[in-house]
Structure 1
Amino acid sequence: MRAWSVVMWIMMAPVIAADHNAAWRAYQQGDYAHALPAYRAAAQKGQPLAQYNYAMMLWRGEGTAIAPDEAIVWLRKAADGHLAQAQYALGLLYENGDHLPRSQTDATHWFLLAAAQGHTDAQTSVATQYFLGRGAPKDMVQAARWYRQAAEGGDVGAQYIVATMYEKGEGQPQDLAEAWRWYSAAALQGDPAAAIRARDLGQRLRGAGVASAAH
């Protein structure tokens, strides 16, 4: 029975992919009348990405009347199917109490699942939950950990926060050279406040003879 199931899944996979590709092509062309049923067909076959996209069309009322309650049903299916974007979106709905009972604990749960898969926005969100003690115990070590991961993923806001945490020694040992490095990374992405902090901290480090900040 197990072998039969594997064979059937291999045979079904291209069909599911084809359904989803057809839906995507129709959506890109603005043909919501065809995209919606195509996404629904793929979603009903258990394809998490199709479930997410179908949910988003229902949420926005694309090709149908706006249907947030039904959208959440499909969004949760996609989140249960381990789609990080769906997990993050569900976390936002719980965080804001948008068509769901507001629950910071549930928001943190879904943010964590998405963050563990490398979803940068979710990493920033879960870091903030730990930083504020909102829906999770206040934990500066965990906050620093997740901000650092988001910073490494290129999130400019997280880069600035990581820099301030290194500068102040919050959640991690104080390290001014690391603080300068992350202020500089944020500055390179156009953050003017980070540029000022990088310049000022760089001058302090050069005065102290720290070679890494002298460049």
Structure 2
Amino acid sequence: MRKAPAFSLASAATGIAMSILLMAAPVQAQTAADAALDLANMLDGAGGGVSGDAYLSALENAAAAGQPMAMWQLGTMYENGEGVAKDPAKAFGYFAQIANQHADAAPRGVESDIVAQSFVKMGDYYRKGVPDAGIPADVQRSHALLLHAATYFGDADAQYRVGLLYLQDDGLGNSPLQSARWLSLAARKGHCLAQARLGDMLFNGIEGIEAQPIEGLMWLNLSHDRCRGTSDQAQVDELLNRASSIAQPQDRADAAALAQSIAPQFADF
């Protein structure tokens, strides 16, 4: 008599995980990172009755099967110590696996955001090094990884970080014009901190860039709205308040009207 295959909670959780990965793919408004969060919520013990061990096993099985979303979830868990002991070496390993296996993935593919952000994570790790993984600090490699995420994938966060590096003597070489270029790319994708830094730069002017108070205030107003309720709100509001306090009343009014007319462009970001 043929025996029925064994069925465990862990295998059930793996099946749920895989189905979520497949279901999330066609939803264009949802990023792969969002899908990974949905996977975590679905498998959460409080929400679905799946134990922490089964949840971890499900993610590990999905990661072993080559699912980038599972690797991403594991990487963030080990990076932040969420449900597991914090382990930078393991986090680095999962992010590196994504980056190495998907470096030439379609820049606008379903999982492109996770791949691009894995390059950003790798850049952060190489900047400081990961002693537990035997990885020494390598600033040049850190910059190269960020630039790949910023150029090939067009990742807004990477573009913002590259923009900042062009304002640092120990970054990519002090170049305000290059910084403004990269900040503008990220700002036009709705990155609120890039909008704030670009706005501050344009409002005040900087070497090679003449002050443009109305456009600068416009970006600062947009940033204020997009960063509202986030951990970045305080620093954004500080830049906006400082600029507003010295701006001409008509410039403030024109900038606010311009920001209001442009804001719908960022609704989908």
Fold match by TM threshold 0.5: yes
Q: Which residue does the alignment assign to 1:182? A: 219
Listed one character per residue, the Cα deviations across residues 83-124 of structure 1 (whole Å, up to 9, x for unaligned) are: 122111111112233443222222222222333434333222
Q: CA deviation at 1:60?
A: 4.5
Q: For residues 18 and 175 of structure 2, what CA distance do their matches in structure 1 show? A: 42
Listed one character per residue, the Cα deviations across residues 48-92 of structure 1 (whole Å, up to 9, x for unaligned) are: 222222223344455655443233222101122241221111111
Taking the TM superposition and a 5 Å limit, the aligned residue runs for 1:35-184 are 35-60=55-80, 65-80=85-100, 81-82=102-103, 83-99=115-131, 100-116=135-151, 117-167=153-203, 168-170=205-207, 172-184=209-221
Q: Is the 8 A contact 1:165 1:171 kept in 2?
A: no
Q: For residues 83 and 256 of structure 2, what CA distance do their matches in structure 1 show? A: 58
Q: Is the 8 A contact 2:221 2:256 kept in 1?
A: no
Unaligned stretches of 5+ residues in structure 1: 1-13
1:94 alignment partner AA = Y
- Give the 3 Å change call, closer, same or farther, for CA 20–42 of structure 1 in structure 2: farther
1:26 alignment partner AA = L
The CA RMSD over aligned residues, in Å, is 3.4
2:144 alignment partner AA = H
Task: Give the SS at the match of 1:131.
Answer: coil
Q: Is the 8 A contact 1:91 1:106 kept in 2?
A: yes
Query: When the two structures are superposed, what TM-score results if normalisation uses the length of structure 1?
Result: 0.72
Instruction: Tell me: higher relative CO, structure 1 or 2? Use CA pairs within 8 A at least 6 residues apart.
Output: 2
Unaligned stretches of 5+ residues in structure 2: 1-14, 23-37, 104-114, 258-269
Q: Is the 8 A contact 1:19 1:39 kept in 2?
A: no
Q: Which residue does the alignment assign to 2:243? A: 197
Q: Is the 8 A contact 1:23 1:36 kept in 2?
A: no
Q: CA deviation at 1:129?
A: 1.2
Q: Report which stretch shifted further, 179-188 or 166-175.
A: 166-175
Q: Which residue does the alignment assign to 2:30? A: none
2:201 alignment partner AA = M
Q: CA deviation at 1:162?
A: 0.8
Task: Give the SS at the match of 1:132.
Answer: coil
Higher helix share: 1
1:75 alignment partner AA = F
Q: CA deviation at 1:46?
A: 1.9
Q: For residues 19 and 160 of structure 1, what CA distance do their matches in structure 2 show? A: 36
Q: Is the 8 A contact 1:19 1:42 kept in 2?
A: no
Q: For residues 133 and 203 of structure 1, what CA distance do their matches in structure 2 show? A: 36
Q: For residues 110 and 28 of structure 1, what CA distance do their matches in structure 2 show? A: 36
Q: Which residue does the alignment assign to 1:26? A: 43
Q: For residues 203 and 51 of structure 1, what CA distance do their matches in structure 2 show? A: 51
Q: Report which stretch shifted further, 92-101 or 44-53.
A: 92-101
Q: For residues 178 and 70 of structure 2, what CA distance do their matches in structure 1 show? A: 33
Q: Which residue does the alignment assign to 1:8? A: none
Q: CA deviation at 1:193?
A: 3.4
